[in-house]
Amino acid sequence: MGMENDILKILLSEEEIKAKVQEIGAAISRDYEGKNLLLVGALKGCVVFMADLMREITVHAKIDFMAVSSYGSGVKSTGVVRILKDLDRDIAGYDVLIIEDILDSGKTLFYLKKLLAERKPASIKIATLLDKPERREADIVPDYVGFVVPNEFVVGYGLDYDEKYRNLPYIGVLKPAVYEK
């Protein structure tokens, strides 16, 4: 069976996501005029959002990636973060914009932002496609947010469950039976 069969409902359609990504891209293009923009994608969830967002940005932008993994399994983040892949460049003097798929407890981004801030960028901000403020445990506020979503586990458009569903073009909620397998 295909992936579609595991989806209970579509939360955000391709059209809704596209319109929102255009809006965020326009805001970033205004705010970063004349700056030294470096987009830092947090792998792997960022890939679809970042690929679409960067094409909506009309000012000069460089890109780089970080891969961090929180210890602990599955759905819950522990806040202890391990660097799996670091940036290729020194970010001193850059206006860093971290690109995330979802801000949940906020522990991962809290750590990542702190780590990057120590490297003396000119500025550091966060753009997240989804925000689940109900779940926040760390003191972190995103600068650009696509959608505030309810406390439900969502997949698609880069977001995974057990590394699957990242390639769904929309964002949906999984059928409970999928977790119970």
| Sole binder of ligand IMP in the list 106, 142, 146, 172 (CB under 6 A) | 106
The one segment of 10-18, 21-29, 95-103, 117-125 that binds ligand IMP by CB under 6 A:
95-103
Helix (H, G, I), strand (E, B) or coil at 22: helix
Report the chain's C-alpha Rg in angstroms.
Answer: 16
Residues with Cβ within 8 Å of 150's Cβ and at least 6 positions away in sequence, in order, are 132, 134
Between CA 102 and CA 123, with CA 55 as vertex, the angle to 5 degrees is 60
The one segment of 27-35, 55-63, 88-96, 151-159 that binds ligand IMP by CB under 6 A:
151-159
Rounded Cα gap, residues 165 and 153, in angstroms: 12
Residues with Cβ within 8 Å of 179's Cβ and at least 6 positions away in sequence, in order, are 161
| Sole binder of ligand IMP in the list 24, 154, 168, 174 (CB under 6 A) | 154
Catalytic residues: 104
| Sole binder of ligand IMP in the list 56, 153, 170, 178 (CB under 6 A) | 153
Q: Pattern of binders to ligand IMP over 124-143, x per CB under 6 A?
A: --------------------
| Sole binder of ligand IMP in the list 7, 17, 37, 105 (CB under 6 A) | 105
Residues with Cβ within 8 Å of 34's Cβ and at least 6 positions away in sequence, in order, are 59
The one segment of 9-17, 30-38, 98-106, 119-127 that binds ligand IMP by CB under 6 A:
98-106
Rounded Cα gap, residues 143 and 141, in angstroms: 7
- For residue 57, the minimal CB distance to ligand IMP (Å) is 21
List interacting residues with ligand IMP (CB under 6 A): 45, 70, 77, 100-109, 153-155, 159-160
